[in-house]
Amino acid sequence: MKDAQKQKSIIAIAFFGAILLTLAGGTWYLYKTMNGINSEIQTIKSEIASIESENNVIRDFQQLLTKREPDISRIRALFIEADRPLRFIEAIESLGRTTKNSITLDAQNPKPDSQYFIFRVTAEGKKQNVFQFLTLLEHAPYEITVRSYTLTAVSEIDPADPESQRMRLALALEVKTK
């Protein structure tokens, strides 16, 4: 009977040992799983913080863009559209009419990869009007580079009216496109 009692005690101790080992293994498994979940949560939190940071940057940029819209429009107006230089041509012709000069204007076909239009402009009129045309062209709201110019007298100075001398201004202009 002592053997049966001893055997029952050994079985009970083995059973409790197995339960303890199972509990220890289960606890270790839960601990590892919880640590894995915890690290995933931390990764997700850092990704959320990164996305929030990007959203803040985007929001700030949109506010800046909204504030600077008039400046952007003004800068865009400095360039002529590559496929439609008509507005620039009309502006040059208008300057000619304003300054009472006769204007001839022709454009070279730009190369496909060029960022510039090249115009040849000739203004002819009274000396003071030609210089006024040049001054107004200088202040035109475009990015213009003068590649070459020629200024010649078309008529002699009349001693009775020195302001009546006629001049011809020939310009080769480079105008930046969008």
Per-residue model confidence as pLDDT tens digits over 102-112: 999 888 777 77
pTM of the model as a whole: 0.56
**Is the pLDDT assigned to residue 28 strictly greater than 70?**
yes
pLDDT tens profile 119-166 = 899 999 988 999 999 999 888 888 888 999 999 988 776 667 767 788
Has residue 173 got a pLDDT over 70? yes
Nearest to 116 by CA among 149, 90, 81: 81
Ranked by mean pLDDT, the top range of 31-40, 148-157, 163-172 is 31-40
Is the confidence at residue 172, as pLDDT, over 80?
A: yes
- Higher-confidence residue of 9 and 114: namely 9
- Over range 40-61, report the average pLDDT: 93
State the pLDDT at residue 72.
76
Compute the Cα dihedral for 56, 57, 59, 60 and give only its sign.
positive
Nearest to 142 by CA among 89, 80, 70: 80
pLDDT for the residue 144: 87
Q: What are phi and psi of 142, to 5 degrees?
A: -135, 160
Q: Mean pLDDT score of the chain, rounded to an integer?
A: 86
- Checking if the pLDDT of 11 tops 70, the result is yes
91: pLDDT strictly greater than 70: yes
Contacts with 100 (C-beta within 8 Å, 6 or more apart), sequence order: 125, 126, 129
